[in-house]
């Protein structure tokens, strides 16, 4: 890989900004100042800017606590998107949400530029679970529990895979739902079969990875390699 391209991807800067770093002598390769952007790097080379070593990342994985009113898309002409919330932190990355949450829903959205990983965790055969806290307008009933466990058939005839639902509050209005399938407006439509409405929906976890409770709505952070692996463990 060319040095200027490596700088753009690892230091998250534009090619012109990388060129400026090189011209000012702020870049070293194996400890020696290098000003040539077309220098071809070897896997064993160590690149640093202002003495700080850079590490190449093939892909980026971000955990975002999506606030209400933000759409799960890369771009939108009218509304703020989950990618907009990342700002210009990754100018060289084409980030997108791996899965979606409705505009009115909140919680864990995974952003990445790894299309293969996103496909894997969304593929029905992989059975990667998503866990939600749901606020209902009607208390949870045994009929709902059994129906979810057996697999709900929606009003349009769509037969869904089995899911889990359990009460989180004494009055049964706040419940925990675990899905291993992704269908448009699935949770709202599932409860609608039983005449129950959804007043609030928050995603708590994807697979075995829970949303970081220190992240306020709109905040995000990078995932570690171990956390990325946790997503596919449940």
CATH number, domain 3-53: 3.10.290.10
Can you tell me the mean pLDDT for 85-107? 92
Q: Determine phi and psi for 50, rounding to 5 degrees.
A: 55, 35
Q: Is the pLDDT of residue 45 over 80?
A: yes
* Architecture of the 129-206 domain: 2-Layer Sandwich (3.30)
Q: Are 186 and 159 in contact (CB under 8 A)?
A: no
Which is catalytic among the residues 84, 102, 120, 212? Answer: 102
Tell me how crowded residue 165 is: count the other CB atoms within 10 A of its CB: 23
Is 102 a residue of the active site? Answer: yes
Domain with CATH 3.30.70.1560 in the chain: 129-206
Domain with CATH 3.30.70.580 in the chain: 61-124+214-231
79 pLDDT band (50/70/90 cuts)? Answer: very high
CATH number, domain 61-124+214-231: 3.30.70.580
Can you tell me the mean pLDDT for 9-32? 91
Which of 8-12, 19-23, 148-152, 165-169 has the lowest average pLDDT?
A: 8-12
Q: For residue 29, give Cα distances in angstroms to 22, 93, 178, 202, 233.
A: 11, 24, 49, 47, 39
* Helical ranges in the chain per DSSP H: 3-10, 15-23, 115-122, 142-150, 186-192, 225-231
| Sheet of strand 32-33, all strands in order from the earlier edge strand to the far edge | 32-33, 27-29, 47-49, 52-53
Looking up tokens 């929906």 gives 201
* 120-153 tens-digit pLDDT: 898 878 889 999 999 999 999 999 999 999 999 9
* 178-190 tens-digit pLDDT: 999 888 899 999 9
DSSP helix, strand, coil percent of the chain (3-state; round to 5): 25, 25, 50
Domain with CATH 3.10.290.10 in the chain: 3-53
- Mean pLDDT (the chain) is 94
Can you tell me the mean pLDDT for 144-163? 96
3-state SS assignment for residue 84: helix
Tell me how crowded residue 229 is: count the other CB atoms within 10 A of its CB: 13
């Amino acid at each position: 890989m060319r040095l200027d391209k490596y700088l753009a991807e690892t230091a998250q800067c534009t090619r012109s900004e990388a060129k400026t770093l090189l011209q000012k002598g702020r870049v070293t390769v194996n400890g020696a100042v290098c000003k040539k952007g077309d220098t071809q790097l070897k896997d064993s080379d160590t690149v640093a800017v202002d003495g700080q070593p850079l590490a190449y990342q093939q892909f980026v994985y971000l955990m975002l606590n999506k606030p209400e009113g933000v759409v799960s898309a890369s771009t939108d002409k009218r509304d703020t998107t989950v990618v907009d919330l990342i700002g210009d932190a990754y100018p060289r990355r084409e980030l997108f949400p791996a899965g979606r949450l409705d505009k009115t829903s909140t919680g864990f959205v995974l952003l990445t530029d790894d299309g293969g990983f996103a496909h894997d965790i969304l593929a029905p055969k992989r059975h990667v679970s998503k866990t939600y806290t749901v606020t209902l307008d009607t208390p949870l009933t045994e009929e709902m529990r059994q129906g979810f466990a057996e697999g709900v058939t929606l009003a349009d005839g769509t037969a869904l895979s089995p899911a889990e639902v359990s009460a989180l509050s004494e009055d049964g209005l706040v419940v925990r739902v675990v899905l291993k399938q992704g269908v448009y407006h699935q949770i709202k439509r599932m409860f609608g079969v039983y005449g129950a409405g959804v007043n609030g929906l928050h995603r708590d976890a994807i697979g075995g990875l829970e949303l970081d409770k220190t992240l306020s709505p709109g905040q995000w952070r990078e995932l570690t390699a171990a956390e990325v692996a946790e997503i596919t463990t449940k």
